[in-house]
């Protein structure tokens, strides 16, 4: 069972590619910095110096300079300009852009091969999770004992906001980025995605947005939570403008990716691949993409209005100017609630896939799985104001939003039905993906139930704004989504690298993370129940024991993540070889070689059944 790992092949000079032959991440950075500097210099000199809004306007223009310069430098704009002047891409150009024969260099470039984009998303997810995780450690260190002065409260307030945004970004792409790109097109029987250049654009735009977000830390940061409620944003330093721009840029990335995914699945499925023969993972990808296309424009809108308020002194969200902070809150949560399901659904779909393969049985009630995901996405559009029960905005709407929010427990419950039904009476292969999946099941039930508490207004009147809420959504994001994302990583890692993610290291990491999650967030629930509000830089002594436990648990989770990172890096080149179908699964990505050929299939396969018949092992003929 030998595999030649293509990415170690010597680089052969080819024609094609044009300017892109000289462009990569480094030229992108240079372009971005140059663009930012030029924009700063021009705006700094042209705008009146003594006006309050000038520094905000300069910041926004500098950020725009960064992203446009970055796009130029990385090569994102080459093809559109070539098209404008009548020079279409030749086949050789397309193959160059797809990274043919470029070895590892192609991972640093604007590469249109969906498999390369998938690996780049793995790296971005780890970078964002890592940066957010470092901030989490700083936050918990500040809160380890009451009255700690590790950092002062201004720095601390900045940390919690940027931690939140980085982690949200990381989780939006955690499953849909790597696996929505690497695996989903192959699962459909396609040679690449519908719009390969847009695929590269979505990744590199995320990199640009991340750059803007990380800059906020250096320029006064974001000191009002990632939810950036108005009107306190009016008091924010210049970091707020970089944040708002980062969101506008990120929405470009996610919109482009969503459109790409949906078009690929609906127009590029191979012959015989009916919608019901698709692996369930693909359904998760398109449902999440569709929901994201609905939700993220609200985020762009609200941040654009925040920028207008800050740079042009408009009053969309300023009470004494005729606007209201409630408008900001509504627009934000119209995005914010569907967005958590954009994060959750790909992870759940990946787990359905893993459950079927590891239990050696079909997905239980495939149609219920699809209906559950569609129902969840649809209902999520109607629940946003449960984040606003205590704002005093619309007391009469409390009842209706309570109804819609509690109804969400029904499609969520169906997820448990499908998972447990798939595993029931199976022949369960206890490998790393399975282990993390069981961790998901244990954590997600706690996440779901505590959400139901908060959806009930008499309880929310007590628990809103307390650490109970923080513990609830950390059970969702860390306990459930992150565990699902790691399960997906362990599952598809052999397809990307040809090697297993080491079982022993993976188990050490799992137990550290799993026990860490319980210690951290169960004690955090108790802090909240006892009366500790959230976003507090310091707290009363009655909360000291639970906070101490929470910090110890957080350190455990970090230890688990460090071990996992060591495993991912070490096993990439030194792990146990896996062959191209280590799990003996039947979906198309496992039937191609490892790593898959540049355009996945020499001959497009014809599909006659779904991939859940484990009685026989399929091969590509």
Does 312 interact with another protein (rule: CB under 8 A)? no
Under DSSP, the state recorded for 90 is P
Note the residue count of the chain: 621
Q: How far is the CB of 225 from another protein (least distance, A)?
A: 5
As measured in angstroms, the least distance from the Cβ of 604 to another protein is: 27
Indicate whether 236 belongs to the interface with another protein (CB under 8 A): yes
Beta carbon nearer to another protein, 15 or 276: 276
In whole angstroms, what is the distance from residue 154 CA to residue 159 CA?
9
How many whole angstroms from its chain centre is CA 283? 17
Rule CB under 8 A: choose which of 15, 80, 81, 153 binds another protein.
Answer: 153
Contacts (CB under 8 A) with another protein, residues 567-586? 567, 570, 576, 584
Q: Is 621 in the site for another protein (CB under 8 A)?
A: no
Helical ranges in 224-324 per DSSP H: 239-267, 280-311
Among 214, 262, 445, 598, binds another protein (CB under 8 A): 445
CA dist 288 and 458 (Å) reads 32
Closest CB to another protein among residues 25, 511: 511
Which residues, listed in sequence order, are joined to residue 218 by a DSSP beta bridge?
none
462 interacts with another protein by CB under 8 A: yes
Q: Choose which of 399, 602, 603, 621 interacts with another protein (CB under 8 A).
A: 399
**Residue 578 per-residue DSSP state:** -
Residues 465-494: x/- map of binding to another protein (CB under 8 A)? xx----------------------------
The DSSP code for 586 is -
Spatial separation of the C-alpha atoms in residues 140 and 402, rounded to whole Å: 33
**Among 144, 124, 136, which residue's Cα sits nearest to residue 162?**
136
CA distance 364 to 573: 36
CB of 156 to another protein, least distance (A): 9
The number of angstroms, rounded, from the C-alpha of 452 to the middle of its chain's C-alpha atoms is 24
Contacting residue, 442, 515, 522, 598, with another protein by CB under 8 A: 442
Q: Compute φ and ψ for 466, nearest 5 degrees.
A: -105, 175
How many C-beta atoms lie closer than 10 Å to residue 334's C-beta?
20
Contact pattern for another protein over residues 47 through 76, marking x by CB under 8 A: -----x------------------------
- State which of positions 331-360 bind another protein (CB under 8 A): 359-360
- The token pair that represents 514 in the structure block: 């799993």
With both helix axes pointing from N to C terminus, report the angle between 196-216 and 114-142 in degrees, rounded to the nearest 10.
Answer: 20
CB of 584 to another protein, least distance (A): 5
Distance CA 519, CA 553 (A): 5
Is residue 429 involved in binding another protein (CB under 8 A)? yes
Give the nearest distance from C-beta 45 to another protein in angstroms: 22
Take residue 587 and report the two structure tokens written for it: 């979906």
Residue that is written with structure tokens 């964002």 in the block: 128
For position 314 contacting another protein by CB under 8 A, the verdict is no
| 226 contributes a contact to another protein by CB under 8 A | no
Residue numbers 113-142 binding another protein by CB under 8 A: 134, 137-138, 141
Q: Supply the minimum distance, in Å, between the C-beta of residue 465 and another protein.
A: 3
Query: Residue 275: how many CB atoms within 10 A of its CB?
Result: 12
Q: In terms of CB distance, is 202 or 328 closer to another protein?
A: 328
By CB under 8 A, is residue 563 in contact with another protein?
Answer: yes
Going by C-beta distance under 8 Å and a sequence separation of 6 or more, which residues neighbour residue 3?
498, 577, 579, 580, 593, 594
Q: Which of residues 166-185 bind another protein (CB under 8 A)?
A: none
Alpha helices in 456-502 (DSSP H): 457-463, 467-474, 483-497
Classify 499 as helix, strand or coil: strand
Return the number of the residue (25 or 150) whose C-beta is nearest another protein.
150
CA distance 447 to 441: 10
Q: Which of 127, 327, 407, 604 binds another protein (CB under 8 A)?
A: 407
Mapped onto helix, strand or coil, the DSSP state of residue 577 is strand
- According to CB under 8 A, which residues from 14 to 53 bind another protein? 52
Distance CA 377, CA 288 (A): 8
Question: What span, in angstroms and rounded, lies between the C-alpha atoms of 299 and 56?
Answer: 19
Phi-psi region of 329 (alpha: psi -120 to 50; beta: other; left: phi over 0): alpha
Q: How far, in Å, CA of 312 to CA of 307, rounded?
A: 8
Q: Beta partners for 499?
A: 577
Tokens of 365: 């009630």
Three-class DSSP category at 531: coil
Find the binding residues for another protein in span 513-542 (CB under 8 A): 526, 529-531, 533-542
C-alpha span between 409 and 452 (Å, rounded) = 8
Residue 548 lies near another protein (rule: CB under 8 A): no
User: According to the binding rule CB under 8 A, does residue 301 interact with another protein?
Assistant: no
Site for another protein in 374-393 (CB under 8 A): 390-392
CB of 501 to another protein, least distance (A): 11
Which one of the spans 6-14, 65-73, 92-100, 323-331 is the region binding another protein (CB under 8 A)? 323-331
Least distance in angstroms from the C-beta of 274 to another protein: 16
**Binding segment toward another protein, per CB under 8 A, in 70-78, 179-187, 192-200, 461-469:** 461-469
Least CB distance to another protein at residue 119 (A): 21
Applying the rule CB under 8 A, the residues between 250 and 279 that interact with another protein are none
Which one, 31 or 133, has the nearer CB to another protein? 133
Least distance to another protein from the beta carbon of 298, Å? Answer: 20
Judged by CB under 8 A, the number of residues near another protein is 121
144 is a contact residue toward another protein (CB under 8 A): no
Nearer to another protein by Cβ, of 341 and 438: the residue is 438
Q: Does 511 bind another protein (CB under 8 A)?
A: no
């Amino acid at each position: 069972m030998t595999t030649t790992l293509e990415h170690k092949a010597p680089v052969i000079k080819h024609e094609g590619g044009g300017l892109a032959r000289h462009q990569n991440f480094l030229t992108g950075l240079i372009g971005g910095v140059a663009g930012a500097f030029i924009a700063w210099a021009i705006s700094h000199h042209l705008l009146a110096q003594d006006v309050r809004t000038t520094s905000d306007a300069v910041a926004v223009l500098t950020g725009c300079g960064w992203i446009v310069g970055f796009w130029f430098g990385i090569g994102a704009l080459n093809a559109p300009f070539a098209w404008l002047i009548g020079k279409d891409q030749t086949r050789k150009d397309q193959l160059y852009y797809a990274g043919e024969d470029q070895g590892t260099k192609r991972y640093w470039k604007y590469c249109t091969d969906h498999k390369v984009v998938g690996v780049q998303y793995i790296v971005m997810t780890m970078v964002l999770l890592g940066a957010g995780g470092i901030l989490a450690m700083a936050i918990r260190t500040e809160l380890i004992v009451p009255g700690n002065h590790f950092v002062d409260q201004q720095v601390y307030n900045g940390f919690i906001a940027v931690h939140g945004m980085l982690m949200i970004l990381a989780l939006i792409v955690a499953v849909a980025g790597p696996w929505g790109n690497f695996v989903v097109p192959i699962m459909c029987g396609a040679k690449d995605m519908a719009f390969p250049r847009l695929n590269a654009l979505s990744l590199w735009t995320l990199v640009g947005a991340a750059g803007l977000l990380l800059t906020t830390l250096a320029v006064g940061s974001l000191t009002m939570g990632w939810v950036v409620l108005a009107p306190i944003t009016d008091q924010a330093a210049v970091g707020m403008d970089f944040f708002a721009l980062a969101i506008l840029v990120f929405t470009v990335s996610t919109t482009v990716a969503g459109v790409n995914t949906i078009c690929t699945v609906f127009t590029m499925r191979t012959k015989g691949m009916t919608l019901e023969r698709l692996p369930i993972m693909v359904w998760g990808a398109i449902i999440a993409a569709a929901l994201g296309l609905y939700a993220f424009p609200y985020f762009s809108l609200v941040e654009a209005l925040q920028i207008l308020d800050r740079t042009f002194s408009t009053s969309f969200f300023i009470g004494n100017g005729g606007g209201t902070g409630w408008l900001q809150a509504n627009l934000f949560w119209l995005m914010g609630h569907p967005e958590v399901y954009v994060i959750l659904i790909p992870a759940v779909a990946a787990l359905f896939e893993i459950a079927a393969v590891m239990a050696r049985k079909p997905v239980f009630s495939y149609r219920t799985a699809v209906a559950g995901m569609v129902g969840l996405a649809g209902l999520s559009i109607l629940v946003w104001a449960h984040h606003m029960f205590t704002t005093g905005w619309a007391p009469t709407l409390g009842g209706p939003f309570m109804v819609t929010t509690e109804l969400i427990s029904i499609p969520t419950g169906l997820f448990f039905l499908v998972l447990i039904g798939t595993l029931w009476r199976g022949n369960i292969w206890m490998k790393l993906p399975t282990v993390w999946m069981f961790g998901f099941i244990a954590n997600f039930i706690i996440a779901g139930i505590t959400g139901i508490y908060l959806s009930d207004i008499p309880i929310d009147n007590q628990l809103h704004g307390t650490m109970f809420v923080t513990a609830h959504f950390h059970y969702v994001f860390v306990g459930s989504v992150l565990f699902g994302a790691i399960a997906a990583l362990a599952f598809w890692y052999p397809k990307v690298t040809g090697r297993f993610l080491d079982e022993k290291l993976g188990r050490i990491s799992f137990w550290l993370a799993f026990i860490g999650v319980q210690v951290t967030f169960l004690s955090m629930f108790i802090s909240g129940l006892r009366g500790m509000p959230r976003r507090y830089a310091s707290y009363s002594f009655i909360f000291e024991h639970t906070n101490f436990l929470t910090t110890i648990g957080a350190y455990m989770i970090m230890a688990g993540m460090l071990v996992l990172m060591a495993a991912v890096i070490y096993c990439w080149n030194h792990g146990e070889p896996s062959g191209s179908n280590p799990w003996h699964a039947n979906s198309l990505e496992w039937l191609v070689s490892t790593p898959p050929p540049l355009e996945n299939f020499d001959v497009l396969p014809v599909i006659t059944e779904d991939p859940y018949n484990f009685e026989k092992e399929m091969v590509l003929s």
